[in-house]
Amino acid sequence: MTVPAFFRKTFRIRHQLIVCMVLFFLPLSTPVSSEPLPALSGQVLYGTTKHYSLKPGEENQAWEYRFELPEQNGQISFWTRSFKTEGLLIVDQEALSQNTYYVKVRLLGKKKETRSGSFHVWMKRNTKPSSEQQPPVPEIRFNDTPLEPEFVWVDPMETLAFSLYDRESGELLHQEVYTGCEYFECFGLKLKIGGKYLIIATQSDKWGRYSSPTNLAFRIGIVEETCPECHGEGVDWDYPNPNSSTPPVCIFCKGTGIWNKDAFIPEKLSDE
C-alpha cells in the first residue's frame, strides 16, 4: 500500500506535536490549573483525588492540571507515579518531570444521563532510574469485534499512551492513557467498513519515561471464511426437515458455505 506524501507529512507533524505536548507541557486546548500536590506521608508520598460530573445534556469536558512537586533540601528528586480512574473518566495525556506532573482528563457527556468519574494520582519520591531506554510496544492485538474494537496490549508495562487516527482524513479519533490493564477499549468509538486507520502507541515505566512510538496501520474490511454454523457444507444437519429427506439450507450462509466476516486487516505504511 502506498500512502500519499501529504498524509505521511500530516502524521509526522501530529507526532511531533504530541511529543512536544508531552515533553514540554504545552497543552493549549483547555486552561491549565497549577497547584501543589498535597503531602500524604512526610516528604515521601504525595497525592490527590479529583471528582467530576456532568449533568444530562452537557457536552464532553476536559480538565488539565500541572501539579508542582516539592524539592527536598535543594536536591534533585526522582519521582515514580501511579494513577487510576473511576467511572467514565479517561486520561488523555500525562507527563512527569523532576518537579512537575501534568495530566489532562476528560469526562464524556450524554443527553439523558448524568455522568461522573474520579481521578486518583500518587507520587512517590524514589531512587534514580537506570539510563536504559524503554522498549517500544511489542504488539497490539485486536479482538473479534472490529467495528467496536477491544485491544490487547501484549507484554504490558506501567502505562500505555494510545492514539487512533483516521488515515484518510488525519482526524484523531481517540486518545487515552491506560494503566494496569492488558485489555482495553476506546469508549464510544465506532469504526466503519472500508475505513483506514493508524494506531500510534508508546509505553512507559513507573518513572513516566515513554518509549519510542509503535505504529500500526490497518483497515476494516470483509473477509470470506468457512461458515462456522454448517462448516462449509451449506446445509443445516442439526435441524432436519421432517417432511423432506433433503436437509434445510443453512440460514447463516444461505447455502453458500461461506461466511462474510468483518475483520481487521493489517497494512504497511510505505513511501511513494
Residue at 99: amino acid letter: N
Which pLDDT value is given to residue 242? 67
Among 191, 213, 209, which residue's Cα sits nearest to residue 264? 191
Report how far residue 33's alpha carbon sits from residue 26's, in angstroms, rounded to the nearest whole number: 13
What predicted TM-score, i.e. pTM, was given to this entire model? 0.78
What was the pLDDT predicted at 149?
Answer: 86
Domains of the chain: 1-29+134-217+264-272 (2.60.40.10), 31-128 (no CATH)
- Name which of 229, 140, 232, 225 is nearest 186 in CA terms: 140
Q: Which three cell numbers stand for residue 128?
A: 534514580
Contact 113, 73 (CB under 8 A): no
What's the pLDDT at 30?
63
Terminal Cα-to-Cα distance of the chain (whole angstroms): 9
Rounded Cα distance between 151 and 183, Å, is: 6
pLDDT for position 176:
95
Given a contact cutoff of 8 angstroms between Cβ atoms, the answer to whether 146 and 264 are in contact is yes
Per-residue model confidence as pLDDT tens for the chain (272 residues): 444 444 454 444 444 444 333 333 344 456 788 888 899 988 889 999 999 999 998 989 999 999 999 888 878 889 999 999 999 999 999 999 989 999 999 998 888 889 999 999 999 999 999 888 899 999 888 877 888 888 988 888 889 999 999 999 999 999 999 998 888 888 778 899 999 999 999 999 999 999 999 999 999 999 989 998 888 888 887 767 667 777 888 888 889 999 888 899 999 886 43
Give CA 203 to chain center in angstroms. 11
Among residues 195, 174, 201, 203, the alpha carbon closest in space to that of 267 is found at 195
Question: Cα torsion for 12, 171, 91, 61, to the nearest 10°?
Answer: 140
> What pLDDT shows up at residue 150?
85
CA dist 41 and 261 (Å) reads: 55
- Strands (DSSP E) contained in the chain are 32-36, 39-41, 45-54, 61-68, 78-87, 89-96, 100-107, 115-126, 140-142, 150-153, 159-166, 172-179, 183-185, 196-204, 214-226, 258-267
